[in-house]
Structure 1
Amino acid sequence: MNRIPLDIAFCNYDRVQPLVSGSVRIDGVDATFHTERIVTEIFKGMIAERKYDVSELGMTYLLRVIDRPDPEFVGIPVFPNRAFRHSAIYVNNASGIRRPEDLAGKRIGELALYGHDAGVMPKGILSDDFGFKPEIARWLVGGIDFPMEPVKYVPQRHPGNVQVQWADTEADLGRMLEEGELDALISADVPKCVLEGSEKVSRLFPDYVKVEQEYYARTGIFPIMHTVAVRRELAGSRPDLVKALYFALCKAKETTMEGLVQGMTFNNMSLMIPWTTNLLQEIRNALGHDWWPYGMRANREAIDAILRYHFEQGITSRRFSAEEVFVPYLMDT
């Protein structure tokens, strides 16, 4: 049987390595795997340069593309990147911000896009839980720690009542936070000043692990950052290959997860991270034995939240349903 060649792009995550190594195969596919220095280069390669048949995409990148006429891509319910994001909100300690309500009237930086994946979720949580609305702050969008070109290959929507400016290419929002030019920063990447322990900055939620665990216990949501997109033409013409891709990605993730769990017997000595076994046990206690689920059923609440937040924050023109974003024949997974 002839195998169909596909170009597939992901970051070098542990959960895709069994695919890259060939220990897990995609039925009917002759896959060539690609990666880039930073994940947004993968997004650009997929959306702007048409380099791949399948790639990881940030949820906000996929939704912005789906919101255009004749969208080229559709998602499959695989989520290679997800993260709790109370920890993504940083403040200058001289700004007077001690609680979420204090963000009102402040100048807040955001990485890469107004509404990047690690920004949509915190804004939604701040709105739901603390009544904070983006229009009561001023926003500066740019890079941190290294120069960043504007993301021009997806629509950059924001409501007319929200003040948004774009920083110069050379701007470092982390430095601006530390020096007090910004009162706060929301960023997927941890700024250098935080990593180096600057006394001028801190997280809005210092005990963020406890806060994020409480959030999960209350909502059941493990926030989704990225999904996997396929060309809509491929999804329509070869559902057999797309299903095979989905199940192979599930198998790759399960293989990695099984390796970590089996490694607990030997204190996960292959990883030079102390207390890894204890951390894994805590994660399994909090999130369940499948702590990084794929498929629709286990992720419906998280998907619905991110779709709602995109609409409420004016990033999409309407509130999309999951059925409009993901292939129909994987909705029962």
Structure 2
Amino acid sequence: MSTKLSIGVYAYEHTEALLDGRVTVDGVDATFETAPLVSDIFRRAVEGHYDLAEFGLTYFLRTFDLDDAPFLALPILPILPNRNFRHSAIFVNTAGGIVKPQDLAGRTVGEFALYGHDAGIWPKGILADEYGVTPDQCRWVIGGTNHPIPAFDWVPQPVPDGVDVRHAEDGQTLGAMLESGEIDALISVDVPQAVLDGSPKVARLFPDHEAVERDYYRRTGIFPPMHIIAIRRELAHRPGLARAVYDAFTQAKVLAERKYLDDATKQHMSVITPWFSTLFEENRRLLGDDWWPYGVAANRKAIDTFLRYHHEQGLSKRKLTCEDIFVPELLDT
């Protein structure tokens, strides 16, 4: 008799084959669910709605400070297109005199959703490592970028001593505050509407962010992951279960990668983005044929770096390791 599992995951091209049934989990009767917002999946996971679920790394890691941490991770990294280089996630008010990273010191900076969201931890860590700007040198305002959002009260929200953090007022958006100059900068997974509209009042801190991010990858080998698949601990040690799920997610991801590799022969005629094949060739030269790797070995340096940042930024009581967070059965992946 097969095991029944409920699995929550966002609808991406590399999970499409799981959601539409082309790929199944061996020996498991799996029900896949998705949601309009990926944060809804995180919240439902915390509330016990799923057996396995996509989880933002910081949301997942914060549960380790609970008395009874409910999850372990599968090394499916990352599960969404938010495996992004995050230099491009830092925005500034162009009238504020911020022209280099060091100019952020002493400024008021907005951050999307919570202090230390996944797309914020990476740039904060990079700012500290490479430019000497640490979070305690700034004042922080938390909120929604283009739409007001309440505080995420369903997840622990630690704030380290010596760091000034407040939530935006009801009805305020960080994007509007940045455009008006009420805040000096913004770190956000969402692009401010002012940037999308071409406003001269808001720009990225790194104008040529692609070149900066490609250089970062060449130097570090890190393609920053954002999310994992979390499994409830009572299921994590069932022999073969975690590996069956891991293998299914890997198969679905390989199908998505293979489509791009196969379509290169026809210059990606199915993609409407001009010059996409040129971009694909450039990315392939830099990132290789498996540009979206799963498994511990391929991601250990990136995960270790994120775990260090998470602890240094006061979001974990102790510095965790891959051995702490991943299902033991999959540490050999």
TM class by shorter chain equals over 0.9
For 2:145 and 2:204, locate their aligned partners in 1 and report how far apart those are by CA, in whole Å: 16
| 1:86 corresponds to 2:87 | yes
Partner of 1:285: 285
Following superposition, the deviation at residue 301 of structure 1 comes to: 0.5
Which of 56, 74, 88 in structure 2 is aligned with 1:76?
74
Other structure's SS at 1:97 match? coil
For 1:140 and 1:276, locate their aligned partners in 2 and report how far apart those are by CA, in whole Å: 37
Partner of 1:302: 302
Following superposition, the deviation at residue 289 of structure 1 comes to: 1.0
Partner of 1:5: 4
Partner of 1:102: 103
For 1:224 and 1:24, locate their aligned partners in 2 and report how far apart those are by CA, in whole Å: 23
Other structure's SS at 2:160 match? coil
1:143-154 equivalent positions in 2, closer than 5 A: 143-154=144-155
Partner of 1:20: 19
1:183-332 equivalent positions in 2, closer than 5 A: 183-236=184-237, 238-332=238-332
Q: For residues 169 and 252 of structure 1, do their structure 2 counterparts lie closer, same or farther at Cα, with a shift above 3 Å needed?
A: farther
Following superposition, the deviation at residue 3 of structure 1 comes to: 1.9
For 2:113 and 2:298, locate their aligned partners in 1 and report how far apart those are by CA, in whole Å: 30
Q: Partner letter of residue 167 of structure 2?
A: W
Other structure's SS at 1:239 match? coil
CA contact (8 A) 1:178 1:201 kept: yes
CA contact (8 A) 1:297 1:332 kept: yes
For 1:138 and 1:295, locate their aligned partners in 2 and report how far apart those are by CA, in whole Å: 37
| 1:63 corresponds to 2:76 | no
For 1:176 and 1:245, locate their aligned partners in 2 and report how far apart those are by CA, in whole Å: 43
For 1:303 and 1:50, locate their aligned partners in 2 and report how far apart those are by CA, in whole Å: 25
Partner of 1:52: 50
CA contact (8 A) 1:143 1:169 kept: no
CA contact (8 A) 2:11 2:19 kept: no
CA contact (8 A) 1:112 1:141 kept: yes
For 1:148 and 1:299, locate their aligned partners in 2 and report how far apart those are by CA, in whole Å: 32
CA contact (8 A) 2:70 2:233 kept: yes
CA contact (8 A) 1:113 1:151 kept: yes
Q: Identical aligned pairs, as a percentage? A: 50
CA contact (8 A) 1:145 1:174 kept: yes
Following superposition, the deviation at residue 125 of structure 1 comes to: 0.3
CA contact (8 A) 2:95 2:201 kept: yes
Q: Deviations over 1:164-202 (max 9, x none)?
A: 001134221001101101100000111111111110011
CA contact (8 A) 2:19 2:33 kept: no
Q: Deviations over 1:132-184 (max 9, x none)?
A: 01101100000121231211111111211000001134221001101101100
The number of residue pairs the alignment matches comes to: 330
User: Which segments of 5 or more consecutive residues in structure 1 lack a partner in the other structure?
Assistant: none
Q: Partner letter of residue 281 of structure 1?
A: E
CA contact (8 A) 2:242 2:327 kept: no
| 1:138 corresponds to 2:136 | no
RMSD between superposed Cα atoms in Å: 0.9
The answer to which of 28-37 and 225-234 deviates more is 28-37
Using structure 2 for the length normalisation, give the TM-score: 0.97
CA contact (8 A) 1:7 1:52 kept: yes
Q: Partner letter of residue 290 of structure 1?
A: D
For 1:35 and 1:63, locate their aligned partners in 2 and report how far apart those are by CA, in whole Å: 22
Following superposition, the deviation at residue 240 of structure 1 comes to: 1.1
For 2:9 and 2:318, locate their aligned partners in 1 and report how far apart those are by CA, in whole Å: 29
For 1:196 and 1:142, locate their aligned partners in 2 and report how far apart those are by CA, in whole Å: 21
Q: Deviations over 1:246-304 (max 9, x none)?
A: 01111110111001110111121222111121111111111111111000111011000
For 2:85 and 2:171, locate their aligned partners in 1 and report how far apart those are by CA, in whole Å: 29
CA contact (8 A) 2:108 2:141 kept: yes
For 1:165 and 1:21, locate their aligned partners in 2 and report how far apart those are by CA, in whole Å: 42
For 1:77 and 1:283, locate their aligned partners in 2 and report how far apart those are by CA, in whole Å: 23
For 2:51 and 2:193, locate their aligned partners in 1 and report how far apart those are by CA, in whole Å: 35
Q: Partner letter of residue 54 of structure 2?
A: E
Partner of 1:125: 126
User: Which segments of 5 or more consecutive residues in structure 2 lack a partner in the other structure?
Assistant: none
CA contact (8 A) 1:142 1:169 kept: no
Partner of 1:32: 31
CA contact (8 A) 2:10 2:38 kept: yes
Following superposition, the deviation at residue 329 of structure 1 comes to: 1.1
